[in-house]
Structure 1
Amino acid sequence: MTPEFVIGFARQAIELALTIALPMLAVGLSVGVLVSVLQAATQIQEMTLSFVPKIVAMFIALLISFPWIMNKMTAYTREIFMNFPNYIR
C-alpha cells in the first residue's frame, strides 16, 4: 500500500462520514436558529425549550434519511470488500 492510497482511503471514509451526518446536522442547525430567534423575540430563556425541539427534529431527520444512510454505507462496504484483493497487493 502506498501512502497515496492510504490517504485516499481515509479521505473517502471521512467524506462518507460527513455526508451521512449532514442531514441531521442541517436539521439541528436550522431548528436551533429558529428556536433561538423565537426565544429572542419572546424573551423566554428556557434551556429545555432550545434542547427538546432540536433532539426531536434530529430524530425525525434520522428516521427519514435512514434508508439513504444505509444505502450509502452498504455501497461503501461492498466496494471495500469487492476491492479487497487489490488492497492487499
Structure 2
Amino acid sequence: MSETEVVEFGREAVWVMLKMSLPVLFVALFVGLIISLFQAVTQLQEMTLTFVPKVIIISLTLIATAPYMSQTLGTFTEQIMDRIVSLG
C-alpha cells in the first residue's frame, strides 16, 4: 500500500466520521442555544433544565439517523474490505 493510498484512506475515514457525527452535533448545538436563551430570559439557572432535554433530543436524533449512519458506515466498510481484497 503506497503512501498516497494511506493518506486517501485517512481522509475518507475522517469524512465518514464527520458525516456521521454532524447531525447529532448540530442538534445538540441548536437545543443548547434554545435552552440558553430560555434561561437568560427567565433567569432560571437549573442544571437539569439543560441536561434532560438535551439527552432526550439527542437520543431521538440518534434513533432517527441510525439508518443513515449504518448505511454510511456499511458502505465505508465495504470499500475498505474491497481494498484489502485487492491488495492480496
Normalising by structure 1, we get a TM-score of 0.92
| Alpha-carbon distance in structure 1 between the residues aligned to 2:8 and 2:82 | 17
How far 1:55 sits from its partner (Å)? 1.1
CA distance in 2, matches of 1:57, 1:77: 28
Instruction: Report the residue type matching 1:41 in the other structure.
Output: V
The Cα offsets for residues 8-40 of structure 1, whole Å up to 9 and x where unpaired, read as 101100110111001110110000000000000
Residues 1:25 and 2:45 are matched in the alignment: no
Q: Which amino acid is the alignment partner of residue 3 of structure 1?
A: E
Question: Partner residue of 1:76?
Answer: 76
TM-score, normalised by the number of residues in structure 2: 0.93
- Measured after TM superposition, the shift of residue 70 of structure 1 is 0.5
CA apart distance, 1:83: 2.3
Q: 1:7 corresponds to which residue?
A: 7
Query: Percent of aligned positions with the same letter in both sequences?
Result: 35
Q: Which runs of 5+ in 2 are unaligned?
A: none
The reply to whether residue 58 of structure 1 matches residue 63 of structure 2 is: no
Q: 1:51: Cα distance to partner?
A: 1.2
User: How many residue pairs get matched?
Assistant: 88
Gaps of 5+ in 1: none
CA RMSD after TM alignment = 1.1
- TM-superposed CA distance for 1:85, in Å, is 3.0
